[in-house]
Chains A and B, each alone.
Chain A
Amino acid sequence: MDLLDFARGPALYFALAVFALGTLWRLLGILLLPWGLIRSPAREGSPSPFSSALKGIVVKLWPHKEFMAGGFFTFINGYIFHLGLAIVVFLFVPHILFIKNLFGISWPGLPSNVIYAVGVITAVSLIAAIANRMTSPVLRLISRVDDYISWVMTFLPVLTGLLAVSHLGARYETLIALHILSVAAFFVWFPFGKLMHAFLFVFSRAMTGVRFGHRGAQL
């Protein structure tokens, strides 16, 4: 069994099993705690909890202009690499095929050259993010090991993906194997670090959305 077979087979197999295990473990470990829902009466005319939850999820997509002064870079750069990752992960045809193989659903992709360009932008944006984290006094103070591991786990697939498509550094099948291995590492780390926010943000925002909607307060 060569490296690529190992990556496409046992490594991914293991990673996805750990991903499923860790994600459900963490989500249920949170959501099965007591909810404490005894609440004072809602403000008259307040929206339903469901629409408050939805509103919370949507409103938090965009920061208030009042916080732009100090948070502009975080906001813009965050958007760049999140969108970049989304485009590269979900609109590159080989990735779509991977997803189709797992879940049976697919959609049209973008030309590979576009993906390469977006990949480069994403990599640059991720480097800017880590540079910011390592230099900003606030971020240095609040950062944990998790933040650095999560960054590495996110950056490696982008880097190995770019190397693979540009055939730099090693043979293509080695690079693609390393790419798949880095994705496997990403999946393994995902449930145990802050990458989990990709799922948790829905709950976190919705809960605050409901709390604020109940009070008729603006989020």
Chain B
Amino acid sequence: MTAKTTTAGVAYDVHGDMSETDRRDAAMKGFVREFGAIAAAHMESCVRCGMCANACHFYVATGEPAYTPINKLRPFEQAYHRHAGPFAPIYRMLGIVPSVTVEKLEEWQRLIFDACTLCGRCTLACPMGIDIAELIKEARHGMYKAGLIPERLQLMDRTTKAWGSPATPAEDFADIINEAGEEFGVTMNVDLPKADYLVTVAPAELSEHTKALADVAKIMNRMGLSWTYHSEGFEASNIGYLNGDTELQEKMTRRIIDTAIKIGAKTLVLPECGHAYGAARWEAARWYGGDIPVRVIHMTEFLQEAVNSGKIKLNKIDATASFHDPCQLVRRGGVTKAPRDVLGKLGVTVKELQNHGSLGVCCGGGGGVVSNVRADPIRFKAFELKRREVEDAGADRFVTACGQCRITLTLGAKHFNWNKKVESLLELVADNLAD
């Protein structure tokens, strides 16, 4: 890895040993492979109205025009017009659309990775219905191929390839689970040969939030379910989904799906992680290459089923709470009602944030941004938007259902010495199980 800056002073990272031409060609080819009919229709439909700017927390927080979502797609769009669009042969012949330069790709690394959380709020603002977030995710595929991704995302990529998780080697997984079981006094199931539920985890749960591992177990046990964690397929956060490494995305998808099939699980439960939901619930079939014989649900959906079925009873908390809607779960996942149902069963009165549900403002750390230290300054600026909304709502507690959001918001709170705890919905349920 080499950290560099462009002549304009924009920081970027470069990986791998490639000539500039090879790097550019790799990006181009990566880009061009993405243009199916849907991406193409979306590339073609923009009228440059600028409405997407109003949706982006980074633009709103900084007022920097470069953060206008559609602007983040410039090199991707250029590749489209030069190599894949209906007029590509004409554009090439007449030189109307020039080749993307490697300098441009370097400059755009900041916009494609640092300044986009893939939260998709722009998609809701676009009057043409362009799914900008999806396009940026696709643009990352080419950037990865060209070795032009931020250093931290590359590091996580390498670790995940080596360990099967960015947090821990697979060999240590069972130990971590068992330690958490002992620490929190819960019976753990790991590597059972057969189970109805395969429970997966997110990296933060293997380090900072180990209580979550125990919380799931506590609820599963209380419900008397046949469930297990499994060393062969435990990591649900899919780094490939974020950093553009499609091979890794496929590998990580296969690992958990195959494990679920192997142990005969009917349901694969994803942890409190937004991107895990996007990767496993909505994209798994694409990377798996066909139908998936397992039901994939998010922890929040699992909790909703649990409380609605009456298999667990909850103590009432007499409190108000605001819920931070994780983008991949709510806006791009459609799980809007489930967390509110669960909060309702906990006796919590939800005081909605000004922007909530599918229009909630992003925590500012998704899409790998929280791991990318280079993005800290704008991430903190975006955090202030959230903080203001939380303060305006004036609820007692602040809850979310995504570990990544929780880390981002907690880091923000710490940075600004803001005295508000960001709580996990799972933890709230586990702590309030009634006898």
> Do any CB atoms of chain A lie under 8 A from CB atoms of chain B in the complex?
yes
Cβ of B9 under 8 Å from chain A: no
Q: Number of contact residues on A: which range applies?
A: 35 or more
Is A200 touching B50 in the complex (CB atoms < 8 A)?
no
- Summarize A's interface: helix, strand, loop or mixed: helix
Q: How far is the CA of A39 from the CA of B54 in the complex (A)?
A: 31
**Nearest CB of chain B from residue A147's CB, rounded to whole Å:** 5
Partner of A33, one of B35, B46, B55, B357: B35
**Interface of chain B residues 20 through 41 with chain A (CB within 8 A):** 35-38, 40-41
Residues of B within 8 A of A76 (CB): none
Given the known A-B contacts A40-B284, A141-B68, A219-B124, are A56 and B49 also in contact in the complex, defined by CB atoms under 8 Å? Answer: no
B358 touches A207 (CB 8 A): no
| Most chain A Cβ neighbours within 10 Å, of B84, B129, B131, B290 | B129
Q: Which residues of A contact B53 (CB under 8 A)?
A: 70, 138
Number of interface residues of B (CB under 8 A): 61
Stretch of B173-181, B326-334, B400-408 lying at the A interface: B326-334
In the bound complex, residues from chain B placing their C-beta under 8 Å from that of A219 are 123-124, 129, 358
Q: Inside 8 A of A66's CB, which chain B residues have their CB?
A: 355, 359
Say whether A166 faces chain B, with CB atoms less than 8 Å apart: no
Contact A39 B124 (CB under 8 A): no
Nearest-CB residue, chain A, relative to B337 = A216
Does B263 sit at the interface, judged by CB under 8 A? no
Q: In the complex the two chains form, what is the Cα distance from A75 to B2 in whole Å?
A: 45
A171 at the interface (CB under 8 A from B): no
| Chain A residues, CB < 8 A from B40 | 29-30, 33
Binding site for A on B (CB under 8 A): 35-38, 40-42, 44-51, 53-55, 59-60, 65-66, 68, 70-71, 84-87, 123-131, 134, 281-286, 289-292, 296, 330-336, 355, 357-359
Which residues from chain A sit less than 8 Å from chain B, CB to CB?
25-26, 28-36, 38-41, 43, 46, 56-57, 60, 63-64, 66-67, 69-71, 74-75, 78, 133, 136-144, 147, 192, 194, 196-197, 200-201, 203-209, 211-212, 215-219
* 21 intermolecular pairs with C-beta atoms under 8 Å apart: A29-B85, A29-B87, A31-B41, A39-B282, A57-B129, A64-B124, A67-B124, A67-B125, A70-B60, A71-B50, A71-B125, A137-B65, A138-B68, A142-B48, A143-B48, A194-B48, A207-B42, A208-B130, A208-B131, A211-B131, A211-B134
